[in-house]
Amino acid sequence: MAAISQSDHSQSDHSQSDYSEAGRPETGGPLDASVRVDLYRMMVLIRTYEERIRQEYHADKTPGFDIGAGKIPGEMHLAAGQEPVAAGVCPHLRPSDALTATHRPHHLAIAHGVDLAKMTAEIFGRQGGLGHGRGGHMHLFDPAVHFSCSGIVAEGLPPALGQAFAFRHRGTDSVAVAVTGEGGANQGAFHESLNLASLWRLPVVFVIEDNEWGISVSRRASTSVEDNSLRAAANAMPGVRIEDNDVEAVYRAARTAVERARAGHGPSLIEVHTLRLWGHFEGDPQTYRPDLATVEERDPIPSYRRLLVEAGVLDEAGVERIAEEAATKVERAVEFALASPEPDPSTATAYAFE
């Protein structure tokens, strides 16, 4: 169902036999029904969450649009359309595995099991949030599941190397997943990180979310290669590109990459051609975007729902139940956030140092 292109590259000396094979996308029969339902369930939870945050974000920014006003102030980068990346990668991770996300982190946080209530309270800038209101939506840290994110493009990758280094030093088989956008693949941090992770054979999985847009600049206008997975070859690691925002293809590719990292064979790169369903940030007019008219029809969730219903894996009752479960979880998280107090201004200087 998905077009998968693979970069087949020559090997350097130090990374012998295993990487070209490990980089080959998995084929084979359909995934188990329960896995497919779980993938759908996670995508729905993420979408429900992002829709609710969007609603809360805009609820009290009028008249006009004042970015700093309202229950949720500041920039807001929502991940609607990119659910397949998080839903496909994270089932292979344990709470002991690390994940570093980007300025657009909610889908990955949810799928990796970040505490939804505390995360929501952090987004609302409340004392009960993950960072007691010090971080905000681009700076979510949940050490219980080794989750972090960074608002600086591609700069979340280097710390993931260190987490992977520490896991290996401790003799565990934990891995670190390092996520960036396709715009981040043009950053020095990306190239340095790929080289070092490969050189030291660190248990890292690099994931590029190619949503085609670095704010308003398209991948074609910013990137010398057609396909960022080609850049894996320059660092002697497998690189796979997944087209069509296909959650099952992401699931299979991530399984291979995570297993490879756990087995001590080093890093891999997965690029997912995904979709930014909404603007770069809330309030982005997207006038630069010629594909706006077709965005809705490329929404990955309705198409996957149809596929599962047609395959007999899900029925309408199941679809309904999943939607209700998601709504309940999100409602509880928002209730927790709104019940949490605002941080005390007299504590504004706390936490700069241990």
Partner 1 sequence: MTVVEEPAAKASPPPPRRLTMAKAMVEGIAAEMERDPSVFYMGEDVGAYGGIFSSTTGLLERFGPERVRDTPISETAFMGLATGAAVEGMRPIVELMFADFFGVCMDQIYNHMAKIHFESGGNVKVPVVLTSAVGGGYSDGAQHSQCLWGTFAHLPGMKVVIPSTPADAKGLMISAIRDDNPVIYLFHKGAMGLAWMAKTRRALGDVPSESYETPIGKAAVARPGRDVTVVTVSLSVHYALDVADELASEGIDVEVLDLRSLVPLDRDAIVESVSRTGRLVVVDEDYRSFGMSAEVMATVAERDPSLLTVAPVRVAVPDVPIPYARALEQAVLPTPERIRAAVRQVMG
- Nearest approach in angstroms of CB 194 to partner 1 is 9
Pick from 43, 80, 99, 164 the residue near partner 1 by CB under 8 A: 164
- Nearest approach in angstroms of CB 193 to partner 1 is 5
Residue 166 touches partner 1, criterion: CB under 8 A: yes
Indicate the residue among 133 and 266 with the shorter CB distance to partner 1: 133
List of residues 6+ apart from 241 with CB closer than 8 A: 4, 5, 6, 7, 227, 228, 229, 270, 271, 272, 273
1-9, 188-196, 265-273, 305-313 -> range binding partner 1 (CB under 8 A): 188-196
- Nearest approach in angstroms of CB 172 to partner 1 is 10
Residue 259 touches partner 1, criterion: CB under 8 A: no
2-10, 22-30, 36-44, 139-147 -> range binding partner 1 (CB under 8 A): 139-147
Residue 47 touches partner 1, criterion: CB under 8 A: no
Residue 218 touches partner 1, criterion: CB under 8 A: no
Buried b (16+ CB within 10 A) or exposed e, 190-207: bbebbebbbeebbbbbbb
Pick from 77, 146, 252, 305 the residue near partner 1 by CB under 8 A: 146
Residue 76 touches partner 1, criterion: CB under 8 A: no
CA 303 to CA 322: how far, in whole Å? 16
Tell me the residue type at 40: Y
CA 224 to CA 71: how far, in whole Å? 41
List of residues 6+ apart from 98 with CB closer than 8 A: 146, 147, 148, 160, 163, 164, 167, 174, 175, 176, 177
Residue 131 touches partner 1, criterion: CB under 8 A: yes
Residue 3 touches partner 1, criterion: CB under 8 A: no
Pick from 25, 73, 158, 318 the residue near partner 1 by CB under 8 A: 158
Residue 231 touches partner 1, criterion: CB under 8 A: no
